[in-house]
Chain A
Amino acid sequence: MAKTLFRWLFVPLLLIAAGIVISVYTVNNPTDSLVARALTYDSILKSLREHLWLMLVSMIGAIVVGVLVGIMLSRPKLYYLGRGVENVVNVGQTIPSLAILALFFTIIGLGFRVAVFALFLYSILPILRNTFAGIINVPDSIIESARGMGMSPFRILTLIELPLAFPIIVAGIRTAIVINVGAATLATFIAAGGLGELIVIGLSLRRDMIVLTGASLAALTAIILDYLIGQVEAKVVKWV
């Protein structure tokens, strides 16, 4: 057990260690006073914490809403509505994330909540689409045999459709996470902080070290989360 847990956590721990090494190195070897001011343990931790909060809150909301709405739309009664929603979602995904943030800034205002809301909406799209597509594409023959065996629609959903659609739903969630990490770096434009703050400060001051620190931490976050979800998926698939 301890061994599997170690194998499980080896990659994330390695990546976290890489993040710490990068942070410690850049904080202790600033190229000048500007870098020293922008990169302190406090500022890096603050940005990272803000970034994780932005992601966590918006992703949890997006997973709950995306999966539930996806399931609802795949029910026979709402199926045609589902096709329409799928198209709307596909079009929605083509709007750049910066534009979504800007749009909600003009409507609601600025700060953490607005950024979370924009990220939440943006992350729903791939999850909803994949949930819908995953359930719709379960072969009719399987559903009919289940019905023939006398299963209720609810049991068909939980025992047949969801397990079969599971890998596709998780693929949607992983896509959403990667998009989310990237889009969250833009939240700094509307005063919501995050690792984007380091990136934009570095860019505007022409100090690559600050940009690299912010960007590599964001990239590491995305890789770690993607890996963890992948591991969970593998476990669940085995268990199902």
Chain B
Amino acid sequence: MSMKRLLALMLMVMLLTGSLFVIGCEAEEVRDDMLDDPDEDLVDVPEPVDIVVTVGSKEFTEQLILGQIAILALEHNGIPTVDETGLGGTVIAREALESGDIDLYWEYTGTGLITIHGFDEAITDPDECYEVVSQIDRDEYDLIWLDYTPFDNTYAVMMRQDDADALGISTISDLAEAINEGVEAPDPGTWVFGSNHEYSTRDDGYPGLLEHYDFAFDSVDVMDYGILYSALRDGDIAASMAFATDGRIPAFGLVVLEDDLQYHPVYNCAPVVRKEVLDAAPQIADILNPIAAALDVEAMSNLNMMVDELDYLPSEVAEEWLTEQGFIQ
């Protein structure tokens, strides 16, 4: 064996032992850490779970984003997921959850109360609404509501910002007064109210709004929710219902009128999980609760706008936001 080869061999042996030594030390360090802080292993070294969580969502932007947020957060913490987001509406998502086709989706407290459990009277206090709904679901359906978000994606009434400024309208009462006094309507020339199908009929929707504020529009145009905002922007309707967190409100120069007589019920959002799944992987609650707590109106409208107006994918904005907030690396 030549001298060169011998040297090379020695070098390799040294490198190998050296690296083994380093790895050993690191392993010891990790073990030490785990002894110091038992909670750490939940975050850094996810325990393997023998469960797959099927995450669903309804079909609109906010739901798609929330679905992706749940998927990314769970995956990042070592819980495998199946993506079943984009189901066609409350009824379908709920039935999928009840039948076990999906294990988790984000639902709104107000929707749970009225649409799912068939209450006629809306509740305007967030805690109370959450308590009522989560208790029924826990007791009767084995479904657990995790913590709810600060954002309240309630119904709202909106106008074009320019018209609101010109007519001095900032609350729904102002609007009611203007219409009752016969103030001339902005485009399209009569007081046409735009609504989606659900709001046009439900108890806490358009009929109750008129009663609560004691006024009446000239007519109602019922249309798909997706085109309400552009219809208002383009002057096809004078005012319209909206969801408070929709990203198109700031993007299209629209403004939400203040609900000064507290008419609209609360729609905070929370992940609803099947009890069976939560029992098998209780850490789901620890993962999703802090995330829900960080979702306020501003955060949610921004995420919605990124998808609706700037054409990002729900999964992209979800990942960016989770990273930015430090929930995933």
B202/A188 in contact, CB under 8 A: no
**Does the CB pair B120–A33 fall under 8 Å?**
yes
Q: Which of B120, B194, B227 lies in contact with A32, CB distance below 8 A?
A: B120
A201 an interface residue at 8 Å Cβ cutoff?
yes
Interface-central residue, A189, A190, A191, A193, by most chain B CB under 10 Å: A191
Shortest Cβ distance from residue A53 to the other chain B in the assembled complex, whole angstroms: 16
Q: How far is the CA of A131 from the CA of B34 in the complex (A)?
A: 80
CA A190 – CA B234 in complex, angstroms? 14
Contact of B221 among A191, A201, A203, A204 (CB under 8 A): A191
Residue of B nearest to A187 (CB): B223
A105 close to B (CB within 8 Å): yes
Cβ A191 vs Cβ B223 within 8 A: yes
Interface residues of B in 157-174 (CB under 8 A from A): none
* Chain A residues near B236 (CB-CB < 8 A): 109-111, 191
Option from A105, A109, A190, A205 in Cβ contact (under 8 Å) with B201: A205
Chain B residues near A60 (CB-CB < 8 A): none
Q: Nearest 8 A-B pairs (CB), nearest first?
A: A191-B223, A189-B224, A204-B198, A191-B221, A200-B197, A201-B197, A206-B91, A38-B201
Given A37-B201, A109-B234, A205-B202: A197 and B89 within 8 A (CB)?
no
Other 7 A-B pairs with CB < 8 A, given A188-B224, A189-B227: A32-B120, A34-B203, A189-B224, A190-B223, A201-B197, A205-B115, A206-B90
B118 near A: Cβ within 8 Å? yes
Q: Which of B90, B194, B202 has the most CB of A within 10 A?
A: B202
**In the bound complex, how far is the Cα of B198 from the Cα of A188, in angstroms?**
12
Distance A34 CA – B121 CA, assembled complex (angstroms): 12
Contacting residues, chain A, for B200 (C-beta < 8 A): 201
A204 contact set on B, CB distance < 8 A: 89-90, 196-198
- Given A110-B231, A204-B198: A191 touches B203 (CB 8 Å cut-off): no
Encode B194-224 as 1/0 by CB contact (under 8 A) with A: 1011101111000100000000000001111
Given the contacts A110-B221, A110-B236, A191 and B197 also touching, CB distance less than 8 Å = no
Task: Spell out A's residues near B (CB within 8 Å).
Answer: 32-34, 37-38, 105, 109-111, 188-191, 193, 197, 200-201, 203-206
Closest to B115 in A: A206
Q: Which residues of B contact A (CB under 8 A)?
A: 89-91, 115-116, 118, 120, 194, 196-198, 200-203, 207, 221-224, 227, 231, 234, 236
> What is the bound-complex CA distance between A191 and B220, given in angstroms?
9
In the assembled complex, the Cα of A105 lies from the Cα of B234 at a distance in Å of: 12
Contacts of B231 in A (CB 8 A): 109-110, 191
Q: How far is the CA of A189 from the CA of B195 in the complex (A)?
A: 11
B198 lies within 8 A of A205 (CB):
yes
Smallest distance from the beta carbon of A80 to chain B beta carbons, Å?
Answer: 41
Evaluate whether A193 and B91 lie within 8 angstroms (CB atoms) in the complex, with A205-B115, A205-B198, A205-B201 already known: no
Q: Is there an interface contact between B224 and A203, defined as CB atoms closer than 8 Å?
A: no
- Complex-state Cα separation, A32 to B201, whole angstroms: 12
A4 to B224: give the CA distance in the assembly, Å: 46
Q: Chain B residues with Cβ under 8 A from A205's Cβ?
A: 115, 198, 201-202
* A54 CB to nearest chain B CB (Å): 14
Q: What is the bound-complex CA distance between A205 and B207, given in angstroms? A: 15
A59 to chain B, nearest CB (A): 23
Give the residues in chain A near B201, CB-CB below 8 Å: 34, 37-38, 201, 205
Contacts of B197 in A (CB 8 A): 188, 197, 200-201, 203-204
| CA of A193 to CA of B223, assembled, Å | 8
- Shortest beta-carbon distance, B136 to chain A, in Å? 16
Pull 26 A–B residue pairs with CB atoms less than 8 Å apart, ordered by A.
Answer: A32-B120, A34-B202, A34-B203, A37-B201, A37-B207, A109-B231, A109-B234, A110-B236, A111-B236, A188-B197, A189-B224, A189-B227, A190-B223, A191-B231, A197-B197, A201-B197, A201-B198, A201-B200, A203-B89, A203-B197, A204-B89, A204-B197, A204-B198, A205-B115, A205-B202, A206-B90
